[in-house]
């Protein structure tokens, strides 16, 4: 074991010869080699070439983290595996989802954080086998482990965040509402969706193309019959305020004369089997090869293929099936077919019958199939199972680097299904195939801060649920949460009920219009908070316990802090007309019925049952914090930013920095952004406002509503005078 110190707070332990994952980005030269290993918060042991870390847990030790995973914010009581998995049924007994996020925060008497930088499977038994034990099993012994010590939970999480580099920066329009479905199959269908949004006056910035836009599920093709004039469609939609976002899958269809297949095969860019032939698996198009994204040349080659779509005006993509998901392999399918043939005419008893059906069910993502697949890394064959969790990461990186090479100064919308730590530099993620279940609103909320801790800031769930059918009420309540998530996308599976915001009844459409318009009003704030978090290695979502130290805050796992000013407390139970809320301090409640409507009320610290009718979104403004609101429009770029509303809950002093930039390029890196510095002080019922703004600021007027803890309200209109020198 080699022990190094990155800073006094962070230890870096190296065992054996770890695979270079590129999850973290820090200056390795600047670390200090330690001669003596300091005392560690975990015990280490090695058995059968597996490294194990253990710690004992007292009854009230909470364990947070693991990014995109199941169960509550506190992972105690569960067993989890980091192994990117396409499992479309997110029930509490499952161990893995699409991401592998090996970061834990253990909040014992002395809290610590731990990151396991290992690209194969890692198993976390968090008080499952024994309620008082944490057992982390790494399925190998070549690994880097990072330990974060000395600090509260937030400081520990930030110490980890700082090792990852700047987070992905999406275009500003990606904060608008987005509409998806598997699938809008033709130009006509897509146009009808756009028309419905316009007709119903519901803002929307993007419409999605799922796999059916392609020619027989081949990446970088467009079905010409369904989309006779694809660039024309892209342009006319953009004119109307909608971007079109196509899907790209990991598997490349095996088909003679299909250029992507031919090139990949000729240049040796596909993953191999044991016999050195391209590895064959079946996914959507039938048989495919998987690009070897761990090979930098293959990565560049695939990434540059996105040009086929960017040349036609496309400005955003979602990468799917990149765990990679495997429906079946030929040999395993053959074995199952043989078994079925042998079973023909037999009197199958319980064991034989289930053996037969289970054999077919087990074809999907069979773990042994991953062991048949190889990558070529620096001239060496590397078994896929050992580096499985890097596949989606490197597919996404391939896209991000390809797009950056094609148009270096342009921001593209990009998010992926599979992910690992480090990927947050390149793109966002969505949380995959959830269900139209009320429980999944809560799961969505509970995952968000843990995903952020792993550096992935641009994220959100399929709002309304992917599988199963949503009703209007679910759609409304879920949207009232998703309006806080950077990615706010309504997406649903094939054969499910339509769940576009106008797909229910008139009254529900009206509510959803207001909810989505409320989202647009929040965009100046959400964007400002996102950009600050991305550029300064911060967090967008936080659990209450990151900011409030009392025990009740830590026990609250159905509320979230959103940026520095807000707390989200969505209603997530069917037919509820309100919910229990815990306030760690006195806050200002805005029961928002739309971008401007709804009551304001000061709610004291403590427990409350708050009523929330279906049309009401509960938005809490923290004490001595400020919320800036914009005027909604049908799309982000149509928003008029010259007048903004400001809601301030001020007891003594509150200040806020509103960040903005062009939203489309990377000129912000050379200083092309604006800031408005707002300071409001309150004394004896009187409010004083100070505003300083950089030159080129778009905002001209601020309309302030200021409230103190006693509920005294003062309104004021302030002109924003840009600072000539700034
Ligand atoms: O196996 O492309 O998670 O969002 O609609 C299903 C079809 C493949 C899974 C994605 C989902 C998408 C679907 N895909």
pLDDT at 157: 98
Atom of ligand 1 at shortest range from CA of 249: 2
- Give the dihedral of Cα atoms 380, 381, 383, 384; nearest 10 deg: 90
The H or E element that residue 4 is part of is strand 2-7
Task: Find the 711 Cα to ligand 1 centroid distance in Å.
Answer: 49
Architecture per CATH, 2-161: Sandwich (2.60)
Residues contacting ligand 1 via CB (< 6 Å): 182, 210-211, 247, 320-321, 417, 432-433, 491
Rounded mean pLDDT, 470-493: 99
Task: Find the 122 Cα to ligand 1 centroid distance in Å.
Answer: 26
CATH code for residues 530-723: 2.60.40.4040
Atom of ligand 1 at shortest range from CA of 320: 10
Q: How confident is the model at residue 370 (pLDDT cuts 50, 70, 90)?
A: very high
Tokens read off for 64: 């947070």
Q: Could you give the CA distance from residue 430 to residue 396 in angstroms, rounded to a whole number?
A: 13
pLDDT tens for residues 118-135? 999 999 999 999 999 999
Among protein residues, the one whose CA lies closest to atom 1 of ligand 1: 321
pLDDT at 726: 54
Give the E-state strand segments of 556-672 in sequence order.
Answer: 560-562, 566-568, 578-583, 587-592, 598-603, 606-611, 617-621, 625-629, 643-649, 653-661
Tokens read off for 172: 């500003």
Average pLDDT of the chain, as a whole number = 97
pLDDT at 225: 98
CATH code for residues 172-254+288-325+387-520: 3.20.20.80
Q: Could you give the CA distance from residue 54 to residue 194 in angstroms, rounded to a whole number?
A: 54
**In degrees rounded to 5, what are phi and psi of residue 127?**
70, 30
Q: Could you give the CA distance from residue 654 to residue 482 in angstroms, rounded to a whole number?
A: 27
Task: Find the 320 Cα to ligand 1 centroid distance in Å.
Answer: 7
Atom of ligand 1 at shortest range from CA of 494: 5
Task: Find the 462 Cα to ligand 1 centroid distance in Å.
Answer: 11
Asked if the domains 2-161 and 530-723 are classified in one and the same CATH topology, the answer is: yes
> From its phi and psi, is residue 408 left (phi > 0), alpha (psi between -120 and 50) or beta?
alpha
Q: How confident is the model at residue 725 (pLDDT cuts 50, 70, 90)?
A: low
Task: Find the 652 Cα to ligand 1 centroid distance in Å.
Answer: 50
Atom of ligand 1 at shortest range from CA of 493: 5
Q: Is 322 helix (H, G, I), strand (E, B) or coil?
A: coil
Among protein residues, the one whose CA lies closest to atom 6 of ligand 1: 321
Domain residue ranges of the chain, discontinuous segments joined by +? 2-161, 172-254+288-325+387-520, 530-723
Task: Find the 497 Cα to ligand 1 centroid distance in Å.
Answer: 16
**Omega of the bond prior to 324 within 30 degrees of 0, cis?**
yes
pLDDT at 151: 95
User: Which residue among 97, 180, 207, 247 is best mutated to probe the pocket of ligand 1, counting the most ligand atoms within 8 A of its Cβ?
Assistant: 247
Task: Find the 210 Cα to ligand 1 centroid distance in Å.
Answer: 8
pLDDT tens for residues 230-255? 999 999 999 999 999 999 999 999 99
pLDDT tens for residues 77-118? 999 999 999 999 999 999 999 999 999 999 988 999 999 999
pLDDT tens for residues 42-57? 999 999 999 999 999 9
User: Which residue among 68, 86, 87, 182 is best mutated to probe the pocket of ligand 1, counting the most ligand atoms within 8 A of its Cβ?
Assistant: 182
Q: Could you give the CA distance from residue 603 to residue 313 in angstroms, rounded to a whole number?
A: 49
Among protein residues, the one whose CA lies closest to atom 5 of ligand 1: 182
pLDDT at 680: 98
Rounded mean pLDDT, 611-640: 98
- Percent of the chain past pLDDT 70, that is, above it, reads 100
User: Which residue among 183, 210, 283 is best mutated to probe the pocket of ligand 1, counting the most ligand atoms within 8 A of its Cβ?
Assistant: 210
SS (H, E, C) 299-314: HHHHHHCCHHHHCCCC
Rounded mean pLDDT, 558-578: 98
> Considering only CA atoms, which of 132, 137, 166, 129 is closest in space to residue 45?
137
Task: Find the 463 Cα to ligand 1 centroid distance in Å.
Answer: 14
Task: Find the 709 Cα to ligand 1 centroid distance in Å.
Answer: 48
pLDDT tens for residues 372-425? 999 999 999 999 999 999 999 999 999 999 999 999 999 999 999 999 999 999
């Amino acid at each position: 074991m080699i022990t190094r110190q990155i800073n006094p707070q962070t230890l870096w332990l190296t065992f054996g010869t770890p695979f270079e994952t590129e999850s973290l980005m820090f200056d390795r030269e600047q670390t200090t080699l330690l001669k003596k290993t300091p005392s560690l918060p975990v015990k280490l042991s090695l058995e059968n070439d597996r490294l194990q870390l253990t710690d004992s847990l007292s009854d009230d030790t909470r364990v947070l983290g693991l990014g995109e995973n199941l169960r509550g914010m506190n992972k105690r009581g569960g067993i989890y595996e980091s192994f990117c998995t396409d499992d479309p049924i997110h029930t509490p007994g499952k161990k893995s989802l699409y991401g592998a996020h090996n970061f834990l925060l253990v909040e014992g008497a002395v809290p610590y954080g731990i990151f396991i930088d290992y690209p194969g499977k890692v198993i976390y038994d968090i008080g499952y086998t024994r309620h008082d034990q944490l057992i982390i099993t790494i399925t190998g012994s070549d690994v880097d482990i990072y330990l974060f010590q000395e600090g509260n939970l937030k400081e520990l999480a930030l110490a980890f965040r700082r090792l990852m580099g700047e987070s992905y920066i999406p275009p500003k329009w990606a904060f608008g509402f987005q509409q998806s479905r598997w699938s809008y199959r033709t130009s006509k269908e897509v146009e009808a969706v756009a028309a419905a949004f316009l007709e119903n006056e519901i803002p929307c910035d993007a419409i999605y193309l799922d796999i059916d836009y392609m020619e027989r599920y081949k990446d970088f093709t467009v079905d010409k019959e369904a989309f006779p004039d694809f660039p024309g469609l892209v342009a006319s939609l953009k004119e109307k305020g909608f971007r079109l976002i196509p899907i790209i899958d990991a598997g490349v269809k095996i088909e003679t004369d299909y250029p992507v297949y031919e090139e990949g095969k000729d240049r040796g860019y596909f993953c191999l089997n044991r016999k050195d032939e391209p590895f064959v698996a079946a996914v959507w198009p039938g048989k495919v090869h998987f690009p070897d994204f761990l090979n930098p040349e293959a990565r560049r080659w695939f990434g540059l293929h996105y040009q086929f779509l960017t040349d036609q005006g496309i400005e955003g993509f979602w990468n799917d099936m990149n765990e990679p998901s495997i429906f079946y392999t030929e040999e395993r399918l053959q074995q199952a077919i043989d078994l079925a043939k042998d079973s023909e005419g037999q009197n199958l008893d319980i064991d034989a019958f289930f053996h037969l059906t289970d054999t077919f069910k087990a074809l999907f993502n069979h773990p042994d199939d991953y062991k048949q697949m190889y990558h070529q890394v620096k001239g060496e064959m590397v078994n896929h199972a050992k580096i499985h969790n890097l596949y989606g990461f490197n597919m996404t990186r391939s896209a991000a680097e390809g797009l950056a090479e094609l148009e270096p100064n342009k921001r593209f919308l990009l998010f992926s299904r599979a992910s690992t730590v480090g990927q947050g530099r390149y793109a966002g993620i969505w949380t995959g195939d959830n269900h139209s279940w009320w429980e999944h609103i809560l799961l969505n909320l509970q995952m968000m801060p843990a995903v952020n801790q792993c550096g992935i800031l641009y994220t959100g769930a399929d709002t309304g649920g992917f599988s199963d059918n949503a009703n209007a009420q679910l759609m409304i309540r879920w949207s009232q949460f998703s309006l806080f998530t950077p990615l706010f996308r309504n997406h649903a599976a094939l054969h499910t009920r339509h769940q576009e915001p106008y797909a229910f009844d008139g009254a529900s459409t009206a509510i959803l219009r207001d909810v989505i318009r409320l989202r647009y009003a929040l965009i100046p704030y959400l964007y400002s908070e996102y950009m600050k978090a991305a550029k300064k290695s911060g967090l967008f979502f936080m659990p209450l316990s990151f900011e409030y130290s009392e025990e009740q805050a830590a026990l609250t796992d159905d509320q979230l802090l959103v940026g520095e000013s807000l707390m989200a407390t969505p209603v997530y139970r069917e037919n509820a007309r309100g919910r229990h809320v815990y306030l760690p301090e006195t806050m200002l409640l805005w029961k928002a019925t739309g971008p401007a409507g709804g009551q304001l009320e000061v709610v004291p610290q403590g427990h409350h049952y708050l009523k929330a009718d279906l049309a009401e979104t509960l938005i809490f403004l923290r004490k001595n914090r400020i919320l800036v609101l914009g005027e909604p429009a049908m799309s982000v770029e149509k928003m008029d930013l010259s007048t903004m509303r400001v809601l301030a809950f001020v007891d003594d002093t509150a200040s806020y920095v509103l960040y903005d930039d062009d939203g489309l390029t990377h000129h912000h890196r050379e200083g092309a952004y604006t800031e408005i510095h707002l300071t409001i002080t309150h004394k004896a019922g009187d409010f004083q406002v100070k505003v300083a703004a950089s030159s080129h600021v778009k905002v001209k007027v601020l309309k302030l509503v200021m409230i103190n803890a006693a509920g005294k309200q003062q309104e004021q209109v302030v002109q924003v005078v840009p600072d000539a020198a700034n």
